[in-house]
A and B are shown apart, each in its own frame.
Chain A
Amino acid sequence: MSAGSVQQFQESLSRLDTPSTVVTPEEFETELAEIIEPPAVGAELAFDGHSLSGLPVTLGPSPSQLREATTGVTGSRLSIASLGTVVVESSTDGDEFVALYPEFHVVVVKESEIRSTLSEAFEWLRSEFAAGRQSFVLATGPSSTGDMGALVQGVHGPERVHIVIVRDDE
């Protein structure tokens, strides 16, 4: 599997009008805290070494907190550089809700988990399915509709998305 490049990923994201920030593991917490617009809810990141626990983010929120949050923070275990897509897993942490309710979705991805193409992402998906992890959403840009006479963002899902790319450890 070839690794997709951060640069290609960021280019795709800018075509989707989706801002992105590249951070080192050390900068991760401070930078993320900057990006988050409170109040924020989150689902714990599913990768080693990084956590949302030290941040102003409510994990396992109440329904009211979920509804009132401006920002929802989730991790993504895989991204597709050519499309600007991130993969959100349906997990017991409620990633689905956190990614859908707030108007602003902040997604944390790891550089090493960026793939180049949809085809490579499917290779990964097949191995995940084989391992029994079988519910994922491939999300690309904010939710949108053309059904109201013009293209509008933020229908049932977020209006804005921000991707935070964490550099690999040196």
Chain B
Amino acid sequence: MSESTRSDAERIRTLLRTESEEIKENTRLFNAARYDAVETVGAETHERYRTQAREIKEESIDRLPELLDRTRRAVEENGGTVYVADDAADANRYIRTVLAEKDADSVVKSKSMTTEEIDLNESLEANGCGVWETDLGEFVIQVAEESPSHIVGPSLHKSREEITALFEREFDPEEPLDSAQKLTAFAREFLGERIDEADIGITGANFVMAESGSIALVTNEGNARKCASIPDTHVAVAGIEKIIPSVAELEPFAELISRSATGQDIPQYLSLLTPPVETPTIDFDRAEEPEFGGNDADRDFHLVLIDNGRRAMRQDEELRETLYCIRCGACANSCANFQSVGGHAFGGETYTGGIATGWEAGIEGLDVAEEFNDLCTGCSRCVNACPVKIDIPWINTVVRDRINRGKDPGFEDLLVDGLVPDEEESGTPLRKRFFGNFETAAKIGSATAPLSNLVASSGVARKAMESTVGIDARRDLPTFERTTLRKWARSRDTHVEDPLRRVVLYPDVYTNYVQTARGKAAVRVLEALGCEVVVPDVGGSGRAPLSQGMIATAEGKARSVAESLLFYLEDGYDVVVIEPSDLAMFRREYEKLLPAAAHERIDEGSYEILEFVYGLLENGADIAALPDGDGNGVAYHSHCQQRTLGLESYTETVLERLGYDVLTSDVECCGMAGSFGYKSEYYELSMDVGETLATQFEPVENERTVVASGTSCMEQLDSLLTAESRHPIELLDPVDR
């Protein structure tokens, strides 16, 4: 293990020990509540809001310069001031000027990620100003002198006991703060006084409405409203991307933001404020005078809109989507790795979770994004969670690709170069190239099996692999088959009379070289259901290089796959895919890698194996050709990308029709996701994520056959359980009939 790998591993291990339990519980609560809330409004309605929200964001970012002007005019007409800050220093300087003008030395703030981004508190404190965070989560973090570990719940990694200990140490209260109620009461008292005395209130703005110059604030505690209305000067700080045209466009976001964040239908307080507000000012120095102290001070309002890299992101084809983000945190909550280690591992200087890579790359730079980018396994569980339909895994891949370039610049190892016939620039790190070129390793491994398997499993080889390419020695390696699926299929003598359909079975790298059993079963099942099957000579889909961020190589693979498949598709064949991550390539990522027409054709002509079987049965194929399930039990784990594509239920339905009793896992992810689980620094994390799946299946593994759709999932299950897992198609194999 290299030094940096070791320190990553150490950091992750520490977080697993110290923060994991709380993060797990809280993110999963939010996540489950989101599913429930979406189900209650109805998937279709929810989808309609998502589409609207997406369109509004696309349009707003497109029209940003014009909307900025409109905002400025509206706010000024209302009597406020707009300042557009180029970067953090500019914003901080401006806010300090406002403070100086007011002679202010005390500030209360409501939660705002944008002020975290510019380190506003440090800037103000350095100027001798007292700053208090009034959102209780932020308050905890401030007192603990830590950074937020979650966009929505900054202190979500802390237990009640830890907060109690922290507050008792810092504030030495008269009574013990040994319950959530007492803690809250204490904070309310403490912060209430700070708010009443503050000279200036600083808030964020979840949305800025250009036409009226209004801001929308989303809170559950009510502190944003207090910060905005009690001090007579209000400064709202937001990124320029928060602007939407008018209150008319706010509606889908009002529907989506809390539902996606915490599963609430609407936040406790959704404030639409058009400052300076009409609420009278209040003067606590004249505590006995009516009319709130009879103060006639004028209200003053400053809207500080921050660029800090955003205009450049807007021009960046790939990062642009990041600007549609409404900071709901759903991507973090749905992420299995985030659920285990939280934002202190899976996040940068400010932002955390799936979309953090896009934000940090845009506002801080690639080196900050690099620290955690590899924690995105590309499982795609966040894709459907995101209320504005951002392709978060793609952003992570793009950033990974950019990080790769310029690494290991002097690397010229001819031996390894032979193993990595890719299209990457020479900077790409050796280890990434190794995983990205797994197809080549598989080819050689298979050609030299069983010797290769023997060698690869020897202690010396495992040590060498761990030190050179970081494959954890605790993982079992795949065993290569001497006879590939293609070779087997070629040598078979079959003929289906009058075929119902003609099928190209896509021989993905794993099925072809490693898991040939599921490939053979697939061929036999399709034939039994009346299909003519060919297994052509097509290479890898490009999934392996893509997950290493090697986009150029993936694109090359995609082109070559397309060439072969389009030939068959034009000829009336259907493409059937066994490995869900490859089907996801065809349906999702090929959109970015291939010309539109080619992607569309492949997308509509490809099916997941059990989706296809389901279709055959619906169209008259005879289920009696397949073995009966006889009421036997199955424990089924679908695959992340398969679930994102909405394909999980086909397998369930087919198995049920065959008479199986199906139990489906409901965890977000098995934790393996391709190469991720093999990497030494992520081994513990991968196993920690897998624990949840194991917990669900362990009690039933003796009564039920464990089946999984994805290769990685099967490998993970095999390392977690005693029973061996199989691909569902193997249960349908007519050989067993």
A residues with CB within 8 A of B: 60-64, 66, 83, 85, 90-92, 94-97, 100, 118-119, 122, 125-126, 129, 134-152, 154-158
Q: Decide yes or no: A148 and B163 within 8 Å by CB, A140-B266, A156-B188 being known contacts.
A: yes
The CA-CA distance from A154 to B270 in the complex, in Å, is 16
A158 to B269, CA, bound (A): 12
* A residues near B250, Cβ cutoff 8 Å: 122
Contact B226 A156 (CB under 8 A): yes
11 additional contacts (CB under 8 A) given A143-B268, A156-B222: A63-B286, A134-B214, A135-B279, A138-B254, A139-B269, A140-B266, A141-B268, A143-B220, A144-B268, A148-B183, A149-B158
B271 pairs with A137, CB closer than 8 A: yes
Residue of A nearest to B156 (CB): A147
Residues of A close to B274: CB separation below 8 A:
134-135
A60 touches B290 (CB 8 A): yes
Evaluate contact between A97 and B290: CB separation under 8 angstroms.
no
B273–A135 CB distance below 8 A: yes
CB of A58 to closest CB in B, whole Å: 8
What is the chain A residue whose CB lies nearest that of B177? A148
Q: Are A156 and B279 in contact (CB under 8 A)?
A: no
B293 touches A63 (CB 8 A): yes
B670 on the interface (CB 8 Å rule)?
no
B195 neighbours in A (Cβ, 8 Å): 156
A134 adjacent to B290 (CB under 8 Å): no
B206 to chain A, nearest CB (A): 13
Question: What 6 A-B pairs have minimum CB-CB distances, sorted nearest first?
Answer: A149-B160, A157-B222, A134-B274, A150-B180, A147-B136, A147-B137
| Cα separation A83 to B270 with both chains bound (whole Å) | 13
Answer whether residue B14 sits at the interface, using C-beta atoms and an 8 A cutoff: no
Enumerate B281-321 residues with CB–CB distance to A below 8 Å: 282-284, 286-293
10 pairs across A/B with beta carbons < 8 Å? Answer: A94-B279, A97-B282, A97-B292, A118-B251, A135-B273, A135-B277, A143-B221, A146-B26, A147-B139, A156-B192
Q: How far apart are B193's CB and chain A's nearest CB, in angstroms?
A: 10
Give A161 to B225 CA distance when docked, in angstroms: 17
Determine if A60 and B225 form an interchain contact, defined as CB atoms under 8 angstroms apart.
no
Contact between A96 and B229, CB atoms less than 8 A apart? yes
| Alpha-carbon separation in the docked complex, A39 to B658 (Å) | 70
Q: Is the CB–CB distance between A90 and B292 below 8 Å?
A: no
In the complex, A43 Cα to B290 Cα: how many Å? 13
Q: Which residues of A contact B187 (CB under 8 A)?
A: 148, 155
The answer to whether A85 and B266 touch across the interface, beta carbons within 8 angstroms, is yes
Q: Which residue from B184, B192, B229, B292 sits with its C-beta under 8 Å from A152?
A: B184
In whole Å, how far is B167's beta carbon from the nearest beta carbon of chain A? 10
Let me know if A139 and B268 touch, CB within 8 A.
yes
A94 to chain B, nearest CB (A): 5
Chain A residues within an 8 Å CB radius of B192: 156
Q: Is B153 an interface residue (CB 8 A)?
A: yes
In the complex, whether B322 has a CB less than 8 A from a CB of chain A is no
Q: Report if B267 contacts A (CB, 8 A).
A: yes
Q: Would A119 and B136 be within 8 Å (CB), given that A64-B288, A134-B274, A155-B222 are in contact?
A: no
Q: Nearest residue in A to B247 (C-beta to C-beta)? A: A129
Contact indicator A119/B251 (Cβ below 8 Å): yes
The complex places the Cα of A95 from the Cα of B273 at a distance, in Å, of 13
A90 to B224, CA, bound (A): 14
CB-contact partner of A145 in B220, B247, B266, B277, under 8 A = B220
Check if B289 sits within 8 Å of A140, measured CB to CB: no
Pair A143/B269 contact, Cβ less than 8 Å: yes
A140 CB contacts on chain B under 8 angstroms? 266-269
Docked CA distance A147–B155 (Å): 7
Residue among B159, B221, B254, B255 making CB contact with A155, cutoff 8 Å: B221
B134 at the interface (CB under 8 A from A): yes
Q: Is the CB of A138 within 8 A of B292?
A: no
CB pair A145 B221 closer than 8 Å? yes
Give Cα A143–Cα B284 distance, bound, in whole angstroms: 23
Interface residues in B347-405 (C-beta closer than 8 Å to A):
none
A144–B195 Cα distance when bound, in Å, is 18
Within 8 Å of chain A (Cβ to Cβ): is B181?
Answer: yes
Most chain A CB neighbours (cut-off 10 Å) among B272, B284, B286, B289? B272
Q: Which residue in A64, A83, A139, A148 is a CB contact (below 8 Å) of B287? A: A64
Quote the shortest CB–CB distance from B529 to chain A (angstroms).
47
Select B279's contact among A96, A134, A147, beta carbons within 8 Å. Answer: A96
Interface residues in B579-619 by Cβ distance below 8 A to A read none
Inter-chain contacts of A126 with B (CB < 8 A): 247-248
Say whether B135 faces chain A, with CB atoms less than 8 Å apart. yes
Q: Give the chain A neighbours of B272 by CB distance below 8 A.
A: 125, 134-138
Q: Considering the chains assembled together, what is the distance between the CA atoms of A97 and B291 in angstroms?
A: 11
Which B residues lie within 8 Å of A91 (CB)? 278-279
Contacts of B283 in A (CB 8 A): 63
Docked pose: A90 CA to B217 CA in angstroms = 14
Residue among A60, A134, A138, A156 with the most chain B CB within 10 A? A156
Q: Is the CB of A63 within 8 A of B188?
A: no
Chain B positions 122 through 155: 1 when the CB is less than 8 Å from some CB of chain A, otherwise 0: 0000000000001111011000000000000101
Are A96's CB and B292's CB within 8 A? no
- B191 in contact (CB, < 8 A): yes
Interface centre among B26, B265, B268, B291 (most CB of A within 10 A): B268
Our pick among B183, B222, B291 for the contact of A100 (Cβ within 8 Å) is B222
Q: Which residue of A has the minimal Cβ distance to B223?
A: A156
Is B292 a contact partner of A148 (Cβ separation < 8 A)?
no
Q: How distant is A79 from chain B, measured CB to nearest CB, in Å? A: 13
A106 vs chain B, min Cβ distance (A) = 16
A156 to B553, CA, bound (A): 55
> What are the residues of chain A within 8 A of B269 when measuring CB–CB?
137-140, 143, 157
Query: With a CB–CB cut-off of 8 A, which chain B residues contact A136?
Result: 271-272
From A62, A95, A158, contact of B289 by CB (8 A) = A62
A144 to B136, CA, bound (A): 10
- How many Å from the CB of A169 to the closest CB on chain B? 29
A residues near B291, Cβ cutoff 8 Å: 60, 62
Contact A138 B289, beta carbon cutoff 8 Å: no
Docked CA distance A59–B248 (Å): 34
Chain B residues in 8 Å Cβ range of A148? 136, 160, 163, 180, 183-184, 187
